[in-house]
């Protein structure tokens, strides 16, 4: 098995929303904001190369939204999905599986492209993987979360016949060496791939822990639907990650790709930060 970092670009989100009840005077020390209170975040995906399967975990915001929509998120940086895939010697047509941690637009927007005004799956040879509980949550969204679930990112996948569901069961196997853990605080039934790689356990953190700056327990996003559930899930995971010396692969940290953790007298903190290629 080979793992490849796939960077799809940078975007900005409000710092207060990203850190919830934590005051700006504290969170800006690790994530400085611009004059509009916006912080820069990555959309870092992961490519798993194993035998005949080429599995892409998440795919960024895409480029089919109109200029007004994209202007809210200040897309920037030199990286794109296609450019990053090409740098590893692949194209979208080589992808066999698109694994979607959840269906918020910054995680699944690249799933669908618009060609001559028509929407179609961007990965024509791939199955798209979600789970039935989260899919139903996304296609009948609540009023608070519906701005993150865009019909044009979701329904063309189902209409194509390429959609597949993973059993909503913690620890379910997806592929040899890849099990899925579920989290329910950020959104219902978000999936986190847990990968055995080079005799280590690597977990793709999605939005359970977006960045190194989110390691302290109270640092929970205002975007989370059920923040107390996130707090419970996060505490349990961090303790497990320390005990197991896990590697955390960070989807939204604009500086750090990966980190390990250690327990201190002041709680669990980041130990080492490094790029995936250093493993």
Predicted pLDDT of residue 174: 95
Predicted pLDDT of residue 127: 98
Predicted pLDDT of residue 70: 87
Average pLDDT by consecutive 10-residue portion of the chain (279 residues)? 97 96 93 95 98 96 90 93 97 98 97 94 98 97 94 96 94 95 98 97 98 96 97 97 98 97 95 96
Burial 25-36 (b: 16+ CB within 10 A, else e): eebbebbebeee
The CB density around residue 191, as the number of other CB atoms within 10 Å, is 24
CA distance 275 to 279: 8
Which CATH homologous superfamily contains domain 2-278?
A: Ribonuclease Z/Hydroxyacylglutathione hydrolase-like (3.60.15.10)
Domain boundary assignment for the chain: 2-278
> Using one digit for the tens of pLDDT, what is the confidence trace for 246-279?
999 999 999 999 999 999 999 999 999 999 999 9
Closest listed residue to residue 224, CA positions, set 269, 188, 170, 180: 188
């Amino acid at each position: 098995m080979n793992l490849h970092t796939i960077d799809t670009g940078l975007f900005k989100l409000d710092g207060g929303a990203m850190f919830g009840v934590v005051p700006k005077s504290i969170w800006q020390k690790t994530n400085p904001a611009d004059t509009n209170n916006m912080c820069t975040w990555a959309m870092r995906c992961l490519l798993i190369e194993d035998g005949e399967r080429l599995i892409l975990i998440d795919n960024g915001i895409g480029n089919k939204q109109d200029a007004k929509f994209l202007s809210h998120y200040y897309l920037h940086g030199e990286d794109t999905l296609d450019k990053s895939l090409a740098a590893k010697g692949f194209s979208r047509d080589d992808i066999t599986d698109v694994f979607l941690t959840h269906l918020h637009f910054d995680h699944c927007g690249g799933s669908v492209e618009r060609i001559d005004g028509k929407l179609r799956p961007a990965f024509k040879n791939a199955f798209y993987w979600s789970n039935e509980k989260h899919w139903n949550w996304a296609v009948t969204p609540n009023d608070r979360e519906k701005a993150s679930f865009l019909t044009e990112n979701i329904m063309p996948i189902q209409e194509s016949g390429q959609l597949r569901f993973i059993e909503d069961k913690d620890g379910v196997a997806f592929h040899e060496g890849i099990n899925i853990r579920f989290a329910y605080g950020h959104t219902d039934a978000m999936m986190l791939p847990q990968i055995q790689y080079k005799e280590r356990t690597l977990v793709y953190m999605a939005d359970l822990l977006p960045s190194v700056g989110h390691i302290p327990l109270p640092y929970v996003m205002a975007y989370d639907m059920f923040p107390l559930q996130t707090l419970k899930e996060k505490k349990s995971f961090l303790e497990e990650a320390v005990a197991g010396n896990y590697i955390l692969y960070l989807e939204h940290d604009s500086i750090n790709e990966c980190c390990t953790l250690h327990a201190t007298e002041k709680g669990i903190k980041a130990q080492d930060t490094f790029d995936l290629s250093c493993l």
